[in-house]
Chain A
């Protein structure tokens, strides 16, 4: 089991900091913690909330059923009181008018005022909440230290202690053993993967919900030797990443769908010039400006076909924090090995959700470079011109892969060309060379396909209903399958794609014929995974669970929609 806290308030009331402190305290107490953020696109006012779910076991989805509603304003009570579970309570300031019998009014604002700093009211709430959850104050000082300025530390500790004394224990939850785990968001895990891959250059234009990646890398730029450059626009950002990558450093850019639109031409430059590139698209609902701070999985069909012409690319959808770290490392490796653009698809739900995860494996191998790149080559080919001194940037090879050299190599020249070119990198319009070069580039996919990772199967392979999902819906699907196990053991399983383009089809083709029903579950309106599956395999889904209101499906919601659609047939 798990308990669920909702902290609600207006933008500018500090709920993000309050939640971050609470998450850390809960993890220190040994809990597994999973926190999702629901923010409006505004700096002040409006209604924002954070859901913090915690318990003794792994948690993979948010839940709309809450046990503790921490209401920093009246609106939060009005909007969320109906979600309270049986023994749930509302913790709010005494000034909030509500006659809800479950409300526990405490003096947050006045206590903070009496202490001389109205801003410490969040710490009063934290102290009170700890007591209500039958927890102690052992870790309060070390935790607050990381989130409040040192000049206000003592005051915040006092505020928490006073809050603690205002209430009595209400709920209690057995703890787990997650004290030494990390607390990371999807964006942070992705950025950590980039750090572990020895990324040296990150250029981006700030855009929700991708900005967290840039901020995280910038924070550690000096220590880890990374230049983070805020570009004048996304066109500059991706062209900068290409310029840096051309010199031999690992480079990346990141954005959301709207910014990706601006990057599209340069994606093709990466393809034809064969410059390794990692691009992350942290999806949000479109089109146009859409819903800037909310979630969707609607860029899949766009990113797999973006840019004019045809060139090899790979798209990896991130499924959770662990995946964000590991697949980012893999993205750098594959981009470099095949000299192609690799697109990492994340979304706001994953980007902003913080979760307890086992510390990531950090090894030197993630930073290791392609062994054949920037080497001296056995000079056996006949030279055709002064440009040709034994190395050809686009030499035709069996697998289509040509080792790179970097500018500054003492014997060879590095050349990148967005025009069609010959082996040396010189512009050409020869039909023969064009044909050879297209084939050289496209056949890189043959080898790449041997490295694809099959989707993750959750549940039994011998299920009646097979759910098909991708990316950040893995967690909610995992919870849904676990919930369904009780009433329908072995009947419903899920296949969740991470590698999504080219689409790995082996496991799908093996499982699909056995299942009575295939249901795709996606955060978009048109069923983009379903159409990609149909296109790649001829397999059609029987029905779909689609959501495109900007809010992520929870495990519980998937179960209820599935029951309505299928199980009662």
Chain B
């Protein structure tokens, strides 16, 4: 059974559900997931979201435990499969605010195919990738974003694969909103989350976070020394600039919104959704089905 964290009393029955509550987590002390969860709650609260209209979707992994720790609707699915479930939930009920919180392994490895194709689908969801460049739940193997040379219990001679560049891949696939945050800058992170949620269409926010247990290379200090917020006058509508910026990942890592241009969403283009009413709220159309049957006579 989950236990309530100590910040609020649970002894009475008068619990407000209009706020996003936190539950005791199973994350390591110092894990970036704590900050992401706090920022997520803040972003949703500041946007005035009712927890009952919010759906948090995750796959499997440490980051993917996020829906367990926040009072909102929760879908904890299979490893790598958060996106298909999330987009379908949004397709069926567009009145929901759908946020995917999952890790780099879940989002880019096991779920890589869904990542690519859901950018193309452009359903209006926000995808927050907790990117610590390592596998946490399975205890320290290389993830798709692990840097080359990273030595792990499996990559014993160092990771020989080229790290996946989620920013560049998303831009190449035509994503409308591509951003990067860092748990060491919570103010920026909350702002990025809010803009990703408000963005009409698929919004990718890759969040750099340290893994205190398994990634001894990309530590908080390491990230802190490299992250560089994009300047105020950065042009978010310039795709070429975004493509160029996305390739920078060395002693400098740009953070902020690399690209933001709205494109026709899935809902705007799907004929069956044209009238703008959520599928889940529409009445059964007996006469339409009757017409279909009559055509077969």
Report the separation of the CA atoms of residues A410 and B95 in the bound assembly, to the nearest whole angstrom. 13
Question: When the two chains form the complex, which single residue of A247, A387, A419, A424 contacts B76, counting CB atoms closer than 8 Å?
Answer: A419
Q: Which residues of A contact B52 (CB under 8 A)?
A: 407-413
Report A410-446 residues with CB < 8 Å from chain B CB: 410-419, 422, 424-428, 430, 433
Min C-beta distance of B297 to chain A, whole Å: 6
Determine whether A232 belongs to the interface, using a CB cutoff of 8 Å to chain B.
yes
Q: Which residues of A contact B75 (CB under 8 A)?
A: 243, 246, 415-416
Min C-beta distance of A21 to chain B, whole Å: 15
Question: When the two chains form the complex, which single residue of B23, B77, B270 contacts A387, counting CB atoms closer than 8 Å?
Answer: B23
Report the separation of the CA atoms of residues A223 and B1 in the bound assembly, to the nearest whole angstrom. 46
Q: Known: A180-B297, A200-B279, A427-B65. Is A407-B17 also a contact (CB below 8 A)?
A: no
Min C-beta distance of A366 to chain B, whole Å: 9
Report the separation of the CA atoms of residues A236 and B8 in the bound assembly, to the nearest whole angstrom. 39
Report the separation of the CA atoms of residues A222 and B272 in the bound assembly, to the nearest whole angstrom. 4
- When the two chains form their complex, are residues B297 and A386 in contact, meaning their CB atoms are under 8 A apart? no
The contact string, 1 if C-beta is below 8 Å from chain A, for chain B 275-287, is: 0000110101110
Min C-beta distance of B26 to chain A, whole Å: 8
Q: Which residues of A contact B292 (CB under 8 A)?
A: 192, 195, 220, 223-224
Determine whether B175 belongs to the interface, using a CB cutoff of 8 Å to chain A.
no
Q: Which residues of A contact B85 (CB under 8 A)?
A: 239-240, 242-243, 246
Q: Which residues of B contact A413 (CB under 8 A)?
A: 17, 51-52, 71-74
Question: Which of B13, B113, B285, B292 gathers the greatest number of chain A CB atoms within 10 Å?
Answer: B292
Least CB separation from A195: chain B residue: B289
The contact string, 1 if C-beta is below 8 Å from chain A, for chain B 102-124, is: 00000000000110110000000
Min C-beta distance of B64 to chain A, whole Å: 10
Determine whether B93 belongs to the interface, using a CB cutoff of 8 Å to chain A.
yes
B interface bracket (residues with beta carbon within 8 Å of A): 35 or more
Question: When the two chains form the complex, which single residue of B8, B10, B89, B274 contacts A246, counting CB atoms closer than 8 Å?
Answer: B89
Min C-beta distance of B62 to chain A, whole Å: 12
Q: Which residues of A contact B73 (CB under 8 A)?
A: 407-408, 413-415
- When the two chains form their complex, are residues B285 and A201 in contact, meaning their CB atoms are under 8 A apart? no
Report the separation of the CA atoms of residues A360 and B273 in the bound assembly, to the nearest whole angstrom. 28
Q: Which residues of B contact A490 (CB under 8 A)?
A: none
- When the two chains form their complex, are residues B81 and A224 in contact, meaning their CB atoms are under 8 A apart? no
- When the two chains form their complex, are residues A221 and B271 in contact, meaning their CB atoms are under 8 A apart? yes
The contact string, 1 if C-beta is below 8 Å from chain B, for chain A 164-205, is: 000000000000000011111000100010011010110100
Q: Which residues of A contact B65 (CB under 8 A)?
A: 427
Q: Known: A195-B292, A223-B292, A386-B4. Is A417-B74 also a contact (CB below 8 A)?
A: yes
Report the separation of the CA atoms of residues A251 and B92 in the bound assembly, to the nearest whole angstrom. 9
Among B53-61, B151-159, B191-199, B206-214, the stretch in contact with A: B53-61
Q: Known: A231-B84, A246-B89, A407-B93. Is A192-B291 also a contact (CB below 8 A)?
A: no
Report A265-302 residues with CB < 8 Å from chain B CB: 265-266, 269, 273
Question: When the two chains form the complex, which single residue of A266, A387, A410 contacts B81, counting CB atoms closer than 8 Å?
Answer: A266
Report the separation of the CA atoms of residues A182 and B295 in the bound assembly, to the nearest whole angstrom. 9
Report the separation of the CA atoms of residues A247 and B67 in the bound assembly, to the nearest whole angstrom. 16
Q: Which residues of B contact A229 (CB under 8 A)?
A: 88, 91
Q: Which residues of A contact B293 (CB under 8 A)?
A: 182, 192, 359-360, 362
Min C-beta distance of B19 to chain A, whole Å: 9
A interface bracket (residues with beta carbon within 8 Å of B): 35 or more
- When the two chains form their complex, are residues B88 and A198 in contact, meaning their CB atoms are under 8 A apart? no
- When the two chains form their complex, are residues B2 and A367 in contact, meaning their CB atoms are under 8 A apart? no
Question: Which of B86, B270, B293 gathers the greatest number of chain A CB atoms within 10 Å?
Answer: B293
Min C-beta distance of A169 to chain B, whole Å: 28
Report A230-277 residues with CB < 8 Å from chain B CB: 231-233, 235-237, 239-244, 246-249, 251, 265-266, 269, 273
Determine whether B78 belongs to the interface, using a CB cutoff of 8 Å to chain A.
yes
Report the separation of the CA atoms of residues A456 and B239 in the bound assembly, to the nearest whole angstrom. 64
- When the two chains form their complex, are residues B280 and A248 in contact, meaning their CB atoms are under 8 A apart? yes
Question: When the two chains form the complex, which single residue of B71, B270, B271, B286 contacts A362, counting CB atoms closer than 8 Å?
Answer: B286
Determine whether A546 belongs to the interface, using a CB cutoff of 8 Å to chain B.
no
Report the separation of the CA atoms of residues A184 and B296 in the bound assembly, to the nearest whole angstrom. 7
Determine whether B248 belongs to the interface, using a CB cutoff of 8 Å to chain A.
no
- When the two chains form their complex, are residues A418 and B2 in contact, meaning their CB atoms are under 8 A apart? no
Q: Which residues of B contact A182 (CB under 8 A)?
A: 293, 296-297
Known: A192-B296, A385-B3, A426-B2. 8 other contacts (CB 8 A): A242-B85, A244-B91, A247-B96, A249-B92, A266-B78, A424-B1, A424-B2, A428-B1
21 pairs of residues in contact across A and B, judged by CB atoms under 8 Å? A180-B297, A192-B292, A203-B84, A233-B113, A243-B57, A244-B89, A359-B297, A383-B13, A386-B15, A386-B71, A387-B21, A389-B15, A407-B73, A408-B53, A410-B52, A412-B52, A415-B74, A416-B75, A416-B77, A427-B76, A433-B1
Q: Using a CB–CB distance below 8 Å, which chain B residues touch chain A?
A: 1-4, 8, 10, 13, 15, 17, 21, 23, 51-53, 55, 57, 60, 65, 67-68, 71-78, 81, 83-89, 91-93, 95-96, 113-114, 116-117, 270-274, 279-280, 282, 284-286, 288-293, 296-297
Closest CB pairs A-B (n = 7): A243-B85, A243-B88, A239-B84, A240-B88, A407-B73, A232-B117, A386-B21
